[in-house]
Amino acid sequence: MAPAIGIDLGTTYSCVGIYRDDRIEIIANDQGNRTTPSFVAFTDTERLIGDSAKNQVAMNPSNTVFDAKRMIGRKFADAEVQADMKHFPFKVVDKAAKPVIQVEFKGETKSFTPEEISSMVLTKMRETAESYLGGTVNNAVVTVPAYFNDSQRQATKDAGLIAGLNVLRIINEPTAAAIAYGLDKKAEGERNVLIFDLGGGTFDVSLLTIEEGIFEVKSTAGDTHLGGEDFDNRLVNHFVGEFKRKHKKDLSSNARALRRLRTACERAKRTLSSSAQTSIEIDSLFEGIDFYTSITRARFEELCQDLFRSTMEPVERVLRDAKIDKSSVHEMVLVGGSTRIPKVQKLVSDFFNGKEPNKSNQPRRGCCVRCSRPGSHPFRRYIIQVHQRDSPLGRCAIVLRYRDRWWCHDCAHQAQHHYPHQEI
């Protein structure tokens, strides 16, 4: 079987990896970066994807599309889609009750679905892998948030098909993180592990037990609409207010100024993870006015205090649902770029009575690659089966054969837990 790539299709950034020679390789793109912005831009002459698209966003905000993952598989009337549209500099219209992005491309108005935009990012990931491997790539495993519903999962798979990929599997991001975590953890006996996954646009918490290569998902919770971009929004709103107080002008109606400010805010947020204070300097931000200011980590934490604290609610919920006391959690694994924020790390540590979370790596990256190859999977062999519609899951699931028992890969319970299974 030809090797498959693993793609972490993120809201703000994506990455691709391959599992070979008993190790995971995260593949750098043409800019030398191991993560690629999930941005697609349209100009008068060309289409740009990734770093090149994000780098020109301030000059071309209305034709640079991002956050397609927030809309994929949703209805136009969805409250979250409507809320997001207020922040998008590009146009989103209603077409057959679905959100469709409108841009100007080569002098014409073009429409693209979120699936089509996501397929362009997936194509970029595929090309990155092909350039590195020196051959054609057809098979892929793609990660999605655990809270994605049937429609969102199918839409993600459709995006892969549009990109010319044979999507072997759609895998939950926390499950992918758990598999990567298990690669280098050889402790004997059953261990309870909490996966705390806070990315650019989604938040998932999962409690799993790991024993001899079996990952059993005890419970999951989270917020499909919480991540680093929400922290960016708080900074943007803060500085829009500051600019208005200082200069008596409202820049919120100017898409280019707002995008330049957002880029600066994202950079400031990253800097504040390692520094106590940072400055923002933007020449001629709005109507020729330069904007120079600074912000401390303490002020940033104050602006986002309610958002940070809200991440503890799903943690409490997964423990309650799994009927496990927090003292019985052996390790907490932090996944996603937003977990680099010191306040988030401290909240997790304090909740678990001072126990330090595992933040030494980003286990989700490329971890789905190991699942994409039968020969490298910790289970002996696998078969795809379908849950009947009246079952608890009511959708496709992976069922794996291990120790003469069938295990449901969606929840890692024994297959009988979702009886009956129908084999494809």
pLDDT digit string, tens, across residues 388-414 = 333 333 333 444 444 444 445 444 344
pLDDT digit string, tens, across residues 302-355 = 999 999 999 999 999 999 999 999 999 999 999 988 999 999 999 999 999 999
Is 77 contained in some domain?
no
Is 412 contained in some domain?
yes
SS3 content of the chain, % helix, strand, coil (to 5): 35, 30, 35
- Report the domain count for the chain: 2
Cβ proximity of 162 and 155 under 8 Å: no
pLDDT digit string, tens, across residues 243-294 = 999 999 999 989 899 989 999 999 999 999 999 999 999 999 999 999 999 9
Is 404 contained in some domain?
yes
pTM above 0.75, yes or no: yes
> CB burial class (10 A; 0-12, 13-18, 19+) of residue 312?
middle
Q: Quick one: pLDDT at residue 68?
A: 97
Q: Which of 273, 305, 337 is the last residue of a domain?
A: 305
Question: Is the pLDDT reported for residue 87 higher than 90?
Answer: no
Is 174 contained in some domain?
no
Is 50 contained in some domain?
no
Q: Which of 252, 285, 305 is the last residue of a domain?
A: 305
- 346 as an active site residue: the answer is no
Domain CATH number, residue 289: 3.90.640.10
Cα dihedral across residues 125, 170, 205, 217: positive or negative = negative
Is 150 contained in some domain?
no
Catalytic one of 54, 69, 98, 218: 69
Catalytic one of 67, 84, 115, 173: 173
Q: How many CB atoms lie within 10 A of CB 248?
A: 7
Residue 267 CB contacts under 8 Å (≥ 6 apart), including other chains: none
Alpha carbons 346 and 18: distance in angstroms, whole number: 33
pLDDT digit string, tens, across residues 23-40 = 788 999 999 999 999 999
Q: What is the mean pLDDT of the chain?
A: 85
Is 205 contained in some domain?
no
Catalytic one of 158, 197, 230, 331: 197
Q: Quick one: pLDDT at residue 152?
A: 96
For 265, the token pair is: 């805010």
Is 383 contained in some domain?
yes
Helix axes 255-271, 228-247, angle to 10 degrees: 120
CA 393-396-397 angle, to 5 degrees, is 80
Q: Which of 287, 305, 323 is the last residue of a domain?
A: 305
Q: Domain containing 389: what range?
A: 379-423
**Residue 362 pLDDT class (50, 70, 90 cuts):** low
**Residue 187 pLDDT class (50, 70, 90 cuts):** low
Alpha carbons 202 and 10: distance in angstroms, whole number: 9
Q: Nearest 10 degrees: CA dihedral of 87, 92, 94, 98?
A: -90
More confident residue, 176 or 66: 66
- Say which range, 155-169, 183-197, 275-289, has the weakest mean pLDDT: 183-197
- 158 as an active site residue: the answer is no
Residue with tokens 């994605």: 148
Q: Stretch 372-397: mean pLDDT, rounded?
A: 37
- 306 as an active site residue: the answer is no
